[in-house]
Amino acid sequence: MSITKAPIFKIVRTEDPSFTFTIDNISKEYVTALRRTLLTKHSAFAVYAVDIYENTSNTIDEILTDHLKNVPFLSENKQDFPDCGTCNHDINSSTKVENETICNKCSLSCFVINVKHPKDAADETRIVTQLDIVENHLSSSLSDSFTEKVVEVESCGIKPWIFPSFPLPITTLYRGQQCHVRLWLTRRQAFHHKMFNPVDKVIARQNGAKITVRPSKQKDWSDYEKSEFVSKACPKKVFDIEDIVGSDKMTQTQIKVSRPQDCNLCMQCIHYSDVILKKPDTIIVETRPRNWYMEIKHHETMSAETIMKNTFKIIKEDVLDLMQHTKNPIIMPV
């Protein structure tokens, strides 16, 4: 019986809001499952409904609601709401307060914006940003009968994530204008709506190249040939030139492989060295079909480590569920 080796994950680059890693000893089917899980199975908190009590700004209610739904919220290690049999997590259903259709089992209302720009203010305008979103678990604007249905918690532990460069603008108030809204948050899986997914984009491609530049063959290359090779041989700019100090204390230039994960196996480097420069057997490219390269772009509402841990947990649960359902299948005769 053959023993399947465990996949080997190696972090290549981490630059917020993205991270890159390679996976060795893994099949194409598993990569497909990994990518699908990253794009559809994660969950995060997001604004899915907005109650507008007062909006005298120049931004109409529909545009204001869209701006608020784009505000990301930190979702690290926060509780998931259980499956709800009342509303079936239908985020497209009516959620107006006066109709009392917001579900108290899977919704969380603990944030409000209440900003008024005074008529005698020195500045003509006041920009409302995500910094104006404050915690307020109970509001006097709600009726007593409806307030009892609001999920009451001492501290929800959730907060808007602030962009490093600048806070996300929501609307602009002129003198005498006011913006008073309540935000309804819930946590769903990404297949309900993309706003619930902490992962924005997943790029997966086969990292099937093991590139070797033979040092013994480079001795016959001139510095000009090395420079021409690096600039023209590879469309993905996989190669670079580095200076090394030889045994004779003399500095020499050498071609090195800097970005092997960018290789798409076009084999132009071999053609350039063997045919154009007449330097055969210098570049060796070996294919590795079970080695993959993945780049994941996320919204920083969840760390890269948490995203990957949750991904493997979800895949494991799906596999166990599949094994349970296929353990004793019933095949009906035709």
What is the per-residue pLDDT for 170?
93
User: What band does 75 get if pLDDT is binned at 50, 70 and 90?
Assistant: low
Task: Examine the pLDDT at 273 and tell me if it is beyond 80.
Answer: yes
What is the per-residue pLDDT for 149?
35
Residue 325 is classified by DSSP as: H
The amino acid that residue 269 corresponds to is C
Q: Cβ–Cβ contacts within 10 Å for residue 84, how many?
A: 15
The amino acid that residue 19 corresponds to is F
Q: What pTM value is reported for the model?
A: 0.61
Distance separating alpha carbons of residues 53 and 112, to the nearest angstrom? 10
pLDDT tens-digit map of 100-131: 445 555 667 778 899 999 999 999 999 999 88
Which CATH architecture does the domain made up of 43-196 adopt?
Answer: Beta Complex (2.170)
pLDDT tens-digit map of 202-220: 988 877 678 888 888 888 8
What is the per-residue pLDDT for 57?
95
- What share of the chain in percent tops pLDDT 70? 80
- Arithmetic mean of pLDDT over the chain: 78
More confident residue, 89 or 237: 237
Give the residue among 37, 75, 38 at the shortest CA–CA distance from 201: 38
DSSP secondary structure string for all residues of 1-41: -PPPPPPEEEEEEEETTEEEEEEES--HHHHHHHHHHHHHT
Distance separating alpha carbons of residues 237 and 228, to the nearest angstrom? 12
Task: Name residues whose C-beta falls within 8 Å of residue 221's C-beta, 6 or more positions apart in sequence.
Answer: 229, 255, 277, 279, 282
Distance separating alpha carbons of residues 4 and 210, to the nearest angstrom? 22
More confident residue, 38 or 83: 38
User: What band does 148 get if pLDDT is binned at 50, 70 and 90?
Assistant: very low
Average pLDDT for residues 238-264, to the nearest whole number?
Answer: 82
Looking at the chain, the domain(s) classified CATH 2.170.120.12 span: 43-196
